[in-house]
Amino acid sequence: MNPDLAWAVWSGERQRRIEGVLERALPPDTAPPLALHRAMRYAVLGGGKRVRPLLAYAAGELAGAAPDVVDAAAAAVELIHAYSLVHDDLPCMDDDSLRRGKPTCHVAFGEATALLAGDTLQALAFETLARGALRDVGAAVAVLAAAAGAEGMAGGQAIDLDAVGASLDLPALETMHRMKTGALIRAAVSLGAACGAPLAAGEQQALQAYAAAAGLAFQVVDDVLDVEGSATTLGKTAGKDAARGKPTFVSLLGLAAAKERAESLRVEAHAALAGFGGRGRRLAELADWIVLRRH
C-alpha cells in the first residue's frame, strides 16, 4: 500500500475507534441530568482531529500494545482536552462563540451547564483512565493529572491569560505553550507507550523528545493557521489571537520564519524516532500530519 494511503487508513480507523470509545464512556443523553449529559456529549463527540488519541495509539503501537489496551488512555487525554476547550471558550476566559464549526458549549447550553460539563469531563477522564488496563494505574493517573494541572495545561492557560497585551519573548512563549498544549501531548505519548511493554530509559527519553517537538510544532502551526486560515477551514474563529494582542509565533517570528520553525520541529521529531526503526513509523507520520495539516 502506498504510504499516504496506509496512513489514511490507519488514522481513519483510529479516529473511528476513539469515537466509539468516547461514545461509550460518556453518560447517555437520555438519562438525567439531561442538559449536563447532552452538553458533555456535545463537547466531545462528532468533531476534533483527535490528535492526542492518535498519538496515544501510535505510541502504544511502538511499545507493542494492541489498540484495545490503549483505548482508556486515548480517551482520557481527549476528555481532558475537550474539557479544557469548553472552559477556555467561556466568557470569562477567551469568550469564543465558534468551535469545531459549531456554537461553543456555553452558547448552546448556557454558562453554568458548560462549566459543569467541563468539570465532569475532567472527572470522567480520570475515571476512564483508572478503569483501563494499564500496568501501573497510579503512575498513569499521576502523569495525566500533572499534565492537566497547574504545572501543565491549566497553568499554561493561566500564563496565556496574563500575556494578553503583554510582550512575551520567544522563550517565554515557548514555555507557555510547552505547558498549555505540550504537556498533554507529551502525556498522550507517554501514556500510550505505558500501555505496552516497558521501554528502556533511553527509549523513553527519545519518545519524550519526539513528543516535545511534535507538541511545539502543533502550536506553531496553529498560530500560522490562525493567520492564514478562515473560520470555514478552521471551524473556529480565525485571526482571534492577533485581534486580542496575544503574542504568537507569527507575531514574534514573522510568518515565513514561523513556518520554518514548524518544519525544523518536524525534522527534530523524526530524528528523535531514529532509534525505533519501523516501530516509530506511525509517530513519524503523525508529526508530518501535525505540521502539514491545513486546519
Question: Interface residues with a second copy (CB under 8 A)?
Answer: 27, 32-33, 35-37, 40, 83, 87, 90, 92-93, 110-113, 115-116, 118-120, 122-124, 126-127, 129-131, 137-139, 141-142, 144-146, 148-151, 154-155, 157-159, 161-162
Q: How far apart are CA 40 and CA 121, in angstroms?
A: 7
For a second copy, give the closer residue by CB, 119 or 268. 119
Contacts of residue 281, Cβ cutoff 8 Å, sequence gap at least 6 = none
Closest separation between CB of residue 246 and a second copy, Å? 14
Closest separation between CB of residue 23 and a second copy, Å? 15
Exposed, middle or buried, 150 (CB in 10 Å: 0-12/13-18/19+)? exposed
For a second copy, give the closer residue by CB, 36 or 62. 36
* 3-state helix vs strand vs coil in the chain, percent to 5: 75, 0, 25
For a second copy, give the closer residue by CB, 135 or 295. 135
Within a 13 Å sphere around the CA of 140, how many CA atoms are in the beta-carbon half? 28
Q: How far apart are CA 51 and CA 28, in angstroms?
A: 25
Closest separation between CB of residue 223 and a second copy, Å? 21
Closest separation between CB of residue 62 and a second copy, Å? 24
Closest separation between CB of residue 285 and a second copy, Å? 31
Answer whether 88's CB lies under 8 Å from 156's CB. no
Closest separation between CB of residue 190 and a second copy, Å? 15
